[in-house]
Amino acid sequence: GIDRDPAFDWSQVVVMTAADIPGENVVHLDHDDQPALASDEIRHHSEAVALVAAPDPATARAARAAISLRTEPLPAILDLLAAETAFARYEIAKGDLEAGFAEADLVVEGTYRVGPQEHIYIEPQAMIAAPTADGGISVTGSLQCPYYIHAALARALALPVEKVRVIQAETGGGFGGKEEYPSMLAIHASLLARAAGRPVRMTYDRHEDIAATTKRHSAVVRHRTGVAADGRLVAQDIDVIMDAGAYVTLSPVVLSRGALHATGPYRCPNVRVRARAVMTNTVPAGAVRGFGAPQTEFAAEVHLSRIAEALGISPAELRRRLAYRAGDITATGQVLKHSVAAVDVLERAEEASQFAEERARTARRAQEGDRTASGVGLALGWHGAGFTGS
């Protein structure tokens, strides 16, 4: 329940709840599961339940303090490994995994974890909504995808699309964080603006932005790799779990790209990648630069360096032996025909960083008992240019 303090003067304030939404209570995207305002159940700590607008910030804050919720605590799932609901699943398979492991001289296993990440764009999430003379709405905001907002507003406000106008202001930073989340602000500000009959500005402060908006998916990636004595990869079995948070948002697209890049840019005849994005009672995750690939590539690169260490081979040399070349076939069956520059890039990076010399110096210092943290790292990234998720 939502209770208002009867001692407060509500005459200067507009209050909206899910019951006041004229259209569908949904932030429309590919999967319509996220409500604009929670009604029966609150799935994460920053989920909006009611909206307040006032002529000035002080009155708005006072009204906010005069609203209280009646809630019943429910068991929360906060660990992605304990999650039982999967929003999306993908599997990639190539060759014969069992035959590959039977051929292996060495099997290396590893589990790699990455946490959520905040975009920290220059300006926080912000939106201005203004009613129009024809009964429609016009919104102006810091955003990346105006057509997402256009469709979401039409659904939530039950308006024909010609009465919805979306204007992208100069956007100093987005990085994926202003892809789908601005639809939430646009709906909230528009609901209040239409009820008040005047423009409403909604701006998150930095703390609110960090607490409530989508993040890079945290993930657990498990590798089990069969390796021949000469360093050839003969089998890769990879399991990817990403934390989608409380709602789907863009998780299927993020998970798809993560799965496609999970092997790293290395040839292997026998591969299986299993990936899933799971629901937890945390802030929903969304798109962040690279969306999905950084998580799985981090795991792939750390794991390959561990394989090099187990074989007693330089991590640069092992990558040189394994990196894709023209004519190679990826785990998804794509034949690489053009501009396969992995080895060229690797060798340029080795030369520019004096990788071998730095690595030798680091080893020498360690042998001499120098406990200063010093060293050099190496990773080889790849990134598909096409969009994913279909």
pLDDT digits 0-9 by tens, 244-257: 999 999 999 999 99
Q: How confident is the model at residue 120 (pLDDT cuts 50, 70, 90)?
A: very high
**Nearest alpha-carbon partner for 46 in 233, 186, 181:** 181
The 10s digit of each residue's pLDDT in 17-47 is 999 999 999 999 999 999 999 999 999 999 9
- pLDDT of amino acid 386: 79
Cβ–Cβ < 8 Å for 95, 271? yes
Q: How many CB atoms lie within 10 A of CB 224?
A: 18
Q: Quick one: what percent of the chain has pLDDT higher than 90?
A: 93
The 10s digit of each residue's pLDDT in 173-222 is 999 999 999 999 999 999 999 999 999 999 999 999 999 999 999 999 99
Name the E strands within 41-95: 50-53, 67-69, 86-94
The 10s digit of each residue's pLDDT in 58-88 is 999 999 999 999 999 999 999 999 999 999 9
CA 45 to CA 39: how far, in whole Å?
A: 14
What's the whole-number mean pLDDT along residues 248-276?
Answer: 97
Cβ–Cβ < 8 Å for 363, 370? no
Under 8 Å CB-to-CB from 192, ≥6 apart: which residues? 14, 16, 51, 52, 53, 129, 200, 202
| pLDDT beyond 70 at 389 | no
Q: Is 175 left (phi over 0), alpha (psi -120 to 50) or beta?
A: left
- pLDDT of amino acid 213: 98
Under 8 Å CB-to-CB from 86, ≥6 apart: which residues? 276, 277, 278, 279
Name the E strands within the chain: 2-4, 14-17, 50-53, 67-69, 86-94, 106-114, 126-131, 137-141, 164-168, 200-203, 219-227, 233-245, 271-279
Kindly report the pTM of this predicted structure.
Answer: 0.95
DSSP letter at 100 equals H
CA 249 to CA 317: how far, in whole Å?
A: 41
164 forms bridges with which residues in the sheet?
137
CA 230 to CA 304: how far, in whole Å?
A: 14
| Cα atoms in the 13 Å half-sphere on the side-chain side of 57 | 5
- pLDDT of amino acid 388: 74
Q: Which two tokens stand for residue 200?
A: 């409403």
CA 69 to CA 40: how far, in whole Å?
A: 12
**Nearest alpha-carbon partner for 190 in 126, 134, 138:** 138
CA separation (Å) from 234 to 26, 64, 215, 260, 322? 47, 61, 35, 18, 11
